[in-house]
A and B are shown apart, each in its own frame.
Chain A
Amino acid sequence: MPDYKLRINGTSYKVNVADDTPLLWVLRDELHLLGTKFGCGIGQCGACTVHFEGAAVRSCLIAVSAIGKSEITTIEGLSEDGDHPVQKAWLEHDVSQCGYCQSGQIMNAAALLAENPKPTDNDIDNAMNGNICRCGTYVRIKQAIKTASNQ
């Protein structure tokens, strides 16, 4: 199995895994960065969302061999101490229920705001539609994104 050098959250890691191993399982099984969640494995739920050079991607669909030198950010690297505006807004609106989908929701929302600091309701719906929340926290997520966009 080949060695891969990865840049994750500003740190370099070396892993030895099969070339088709999805980034999700490298993060979870090899690096024990457990904030990135497994929900479907086929790019349909958004639980595994991370930033790939700043853009939100589904880590379950990205093979480790496709990463190269690209900078990856996971929920653990989004901020020093949970003080990213999106994380703060999430706490202010007490969004979480079970909480399982939320790191994916937050990573997606943070990427959206980085690209579009004042999204409309429509922009939010379009950007967030790939992130499922079975607990039904969608209304609060939208409110939190709006709060964060005003920071």
Chain B
Amino acid sequence: MTKIQTQYNRRSFLKISAAAGGGMLIGFSWLTGCVSEGKNNEALAIPNEWFDINGYIKIGDTGLVTIYSPNPEIGQNVRTSMPMIVAEELDVNWENVMVEQAPLNTGFYNNQIAGGSQSIRKGWNPLRMAGATARRMLLEATAKELGVEVTALTVANGIIKEISGERTMGYGDIASKAVGIEVPEVVELKDIKDFKLISTSVKNVDGKNIVTGKPLFGLDFQREGMQLAMIQHPPAFGMKVKDFNEAEIKAMSGVSNAFIVDITVPEPGYFDEKGFLQLVAIVGKSTWQLMKAKKALKVNWEQVSELEDSEMHMKRMEASLASEMRESRKDGDPAAAFKKAAKVIERTYSAPFLPHNTMEPMNFFAHVTETSAELVGPTQTPQALEGSVSKLLGLPIEDVTVNMTRMGGGFGRRLYVHFGVEAAAISKKIGAPVKLIYTREDDMTQGTYRPAYLATYKAGLDENNNLIAFSVKGTGLPESPVFENRFPAGTVENYLAEKASTKTNITTGAWRAPRSHFTAGAEQSFLDEVAELAEKDPIEFRLELFDRAISNPIGNRNDYDAQRYAGVLKLVKEKSNWGQEMPGIHRGVAAYYCHNSYVAEVIDIAMEKNTPKIKKVWCAVDCGIVVNRDAAKNMVQGGVIDGVGHAMYSQLTFKDGATQESNFNQYRLIRHSQAPEAIEVFFVENDIDPTGLGEPGLPPAIGALANALYQATGERHYHQPFMSFKSVKG
């Protein structure tokens, strides 16, 4: 067993217990409806009394256990996998566990954010500790009760037993006594080989609620006396609202108020990204009436900055790429190596702006009074929202509460907090509780988009087809996509990475696997071409490079583990029977490391009626210990479909500062018939602490797709989207 120092004290437990018991979360009935149900027929009776053991665990007198899931749930399934980790160390039957969303409590919980695929990685130790600490306290309470030493007791599945004796104690029987026990300073964690729950497949705790249509999402939130609100933003980036036909709108049926709100917060931070700080707000009783009122709006806008378009965007990026760039890494002498290379290849790749398009449009509930603000809704970063609302209203942070609902998708969109801040501003103005709802058009035309990128890769081979020089330079609107210390850095003696960025007034932000979704596609399709030029098999070519990085790495800033990287490539090679001819099947491969996990993918394409059809995708994943096996597979499958879909079909284009696509009739997302027919996921089995999977499955899919398309059609794809690429790059 591993012993670890507990990192919290009795006082913080009490604080959170008071919060949890005091109704911060369960005080209003709507959220209680969102508690996941006991999961089998033998589920224990609902307790008469609950005992807060610590801020993660509440045990009822019948033995039923509630585990609080600390992080926002956006579909990455942490509401199941995080409590699983607690339940493992607590040693309780999963059937007797219920899950509740924890409230925002930055003093107690660690990292309450859904971003960067970090929930599991950063939660691993605190969650294990929470379970182990509670188990230890229950053991100590039992020892005291039975008059024996703790060492004379053993525990399994929520039942404590005397090792040499007959007496037993259920968690439900002793929970009340464990509450008073001193929190141990050091606790023992289970040996990984003793895990019973972790690495099995546990079904989504909200599965039943989802398939029966229970109100789980922010948009479903209801409160007595609540009004609805919608906003109208300027039609183009670079414009500002001046005034509108207020009297006419106010006179419309179902409209109770209409006004301009300003959501400027002092010292805005990263999560405050928003293009339009003044908005027309319309308040009323029904969504449909508000939609009609929006259509009747006559607003005067004024231009405040340049109105941009897609052609201008590409020109700016091209100029930036041609200009002096910032060198971010240099190994050896790339210029000399390229000069003496026998073969040199250079290719340029681009990707367009993308909206997130979570299926649930942005929305938030707010109830602001003179002295408090209560917010409920879908946010990936409740802490940032709390901070921004506190700044907007000039309220102390303690007087702002944020509760998280389940989210109909996040993908980075809900890291930005403006829609919560807007709801608060509207509620303050009308002095009543309100739920702000975006239409799809609102959502798509004022996003925090995935930036647009442009990058050039160059490689030099010697006369024996060894890679002797490699360079990458990349720019974007408004950031460079280049990760200078990622593969193939470290495997090539002469290496150069250069960065630049260009300006835009389009608002951008994190989008599932930021930058990696672009670099993986570009770099991995480039390496496919380099391997071809070197007359080598694309997997063998990469494995040779990893061999170099293992035996003789160049530089000491390489941010990947070459063994694990090579490991996923070897696994995908084995599982997909790489190298075996299959009639009519054209294959492409890619591997990528990001967000602390390694994923290699092989995509099999067949041409059907002259159209490429993805028959199968093979994925090999190293994310350390797999917490919830089938759910982890689901995540990787989703990442593959999302990656393939956006690379093939999606782009957001601009004209006169406005997006040319505003709903799903113009903007293409992948649909059923275009999805791969099958996706198999295999894991590298090891005992390394787990890392996340919300993002890492997506980036390699783009490279593997481009490479498979080349095999199928003889055509290389350099510019996304591959299938409807039109005017953006001439």
Binding site for B on A (CB under 8 A): 1, 17-18, 20-22, 25, 28-30, 32-42, 44-45, 47, 74-76, 78-79, 81-82, 87, 90-91, 94, 96-103, 106, 121, 124-126, 128-142
Contact = CB atoms under 8 A, between A and B. Distances in A.
Interface of B: 74-77, 201, 203-204, 206-208, 210-217, 219-220, 222, 228, 253, 285-289, 291-292, 357-361, 406-411, 439-440, 630-631, 634-635, 637-642, 645, 663-665, 669-673, 675-679
Contacts of A94: 201, 203-204, 207, 630-631, 634
Contacts of A28: 287
A120 to B, nearest CB: 12
B215 A40 contact: no
B207 A91 contact: yes
A147 to B, nearest CB: 13
Nearest to A126: B673
B669 A129 contact: no
Given A82-B212, A97-B638, A139 B359 contact: no
A48 to B, nearest CB: 11
Contacts of A32: 222
7 contacts: A35-B215, A37-B408, A39-B440, A42-B440, A96-B207, A97-B635, A134-B359
B288 A134 contact: no
A130 B673 CA distance: 10
Task: List the 7 closest A-B pairs by CB distance, nearest first.
Answer: A35-B213, A100-B408, A98-B75, A136-B641, A75-B213, A138-B675, A44-B664
Most-contacted residue by chain A among B208, B211, B253, B406 (CB, 10 A):
B211
Contacts of B285: 29
B212 A133 contact: no
A21 B288 contact: yes
A29 B211 contact: no
Contacts of B212: 35, 75-76, 78-79, 81-82, 87
B642 A135 contact: yes
B289 A98 contact: no
Nearest to A144: B211
A103 to B, nearest CB: 5
Majority secondary structure, A binding face: loop
A132 B669 contact: yes
B207 A128 contact: no
Contact of A132 (B214, B219, B671): B671
Nearest to A121: B677
Nearest to B665: A44
A103 B213 contact: yes
A137 B287 contact: no
B409 A98 contact: yes
Contacts of B74: 98
Nearest to A127: B672
Contacts of A78: 212
B677 A99 contact: no
Nearest to B694: A97
A38 B639 CA distance: 24
Given A18-B289, A98-B407, A136 B207 contact: no
B411 A134 contact: yes
Contact of A98 (B207, B406, B676): B406
Nearest to B220: A34
B669 A29 contact: no
Given A45-B664, A136-B637, 13 more contacts: A28-B287, A37-B359, A40-B663, A41-B663, A42-B665, A81-B212, A82-B208, A98-B75, A121-B677, A129-B672, A134-B642, A135-B409, A136-B645
A40 B664 contact: yes
Contact of B642 (A45, A90, A136): A136
Nearest to A100: B408
A29 B221 CA distance: 11
Nearest to B210: A99
A97 to B, nearest CB: 4
